[in-house]
């Protein structure tokens, strides 16, 4: 099991390049980014898990930004995006992995979060951890290409392109209705 170290790693105003790009976007372009993100989540196949998908500080989808700030055990930055979202960003080290974390809030509710591993040393360790967390003792490695969905329709996707990223999305949030307006 991965252990969280109480070490904060150079927290900056924006956690990574993608967030910095979002800050520079107009509201219309920000909406396009999130629409693309949600479309990707809705077009993907998922393996069902009986385990609830949540953040590792016992933070759940729908938690308010103030609840999350109280639960976080790290120094974070708060960033408004496009006039309709707030993002909390921080960096943390888990085991040997340096992770950039973003938590996205719409109307004060957590709707999306992600862990980016810019310099991952062992992808297999992360995949194994996710498999153990969401499937206990059964091996389901198909989620790497398909994703995981919990009983509440929250989902998780692994993206292994430029930066190894694990993304989490609440499919039943009011943010989706806002995007579809």
Residue ranges of domains in the chain? 4-179
Structure confidence by residue, pLDDT tens digits, 9-29: 333 434 455 555 555 555 556
Q: What's phi and psi for 158, nearest 5 deg?
A: -100, 130
Task: Scan for tokens 């609830």, then name that residue.
Answer: 52
pLDDT value, residue 20: 57
Contact 121, 113 (CB under 8 A): no
Q: What is the value of pTM for the model shown?
A: 0.82
For the ranges 30-34, 42-46, 61-65, 117-121, the one whose mean pLDDT is highest: 61-65
């Amino acid at each position: 099991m991965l252990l969280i170290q109480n070490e904060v790693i150079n927290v900056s105003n924006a956690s990574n390049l993608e967030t910095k790009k979002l800050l520079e976007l107009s509201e219309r372009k920000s909406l396009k980014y999130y629409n693309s993100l949600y479309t990707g989540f809705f077009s993907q196949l998922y393996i069902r898990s009986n385990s609830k998908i949540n953040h590792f500080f016992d933070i759940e989808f729908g938690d308010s930004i103030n609840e999350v700030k109280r639960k976080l055990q790290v120094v974070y930055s708060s960033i408004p995006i496009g006039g309709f979202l707030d993002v909390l960003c921080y960096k943390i080290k888990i085991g040997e992995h340096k992770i950039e974390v973003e938590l996205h809030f719409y109307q004060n509710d957590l709707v999306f979060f992600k862990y980016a591993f810019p310099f991952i040393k062992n992808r297999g360790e992360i995949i194994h951890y996710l498999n153990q967390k969401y499937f206990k003792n059964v091996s389901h490695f198909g989620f790497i290409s398909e994703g995981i969905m919990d009983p509440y329709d929250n989902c998780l996707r692994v993206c292994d392109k430029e930066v190894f990223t694990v993304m989490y999305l609440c499919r039943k949030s009011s943010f989706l209705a806002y995007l579809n307006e």
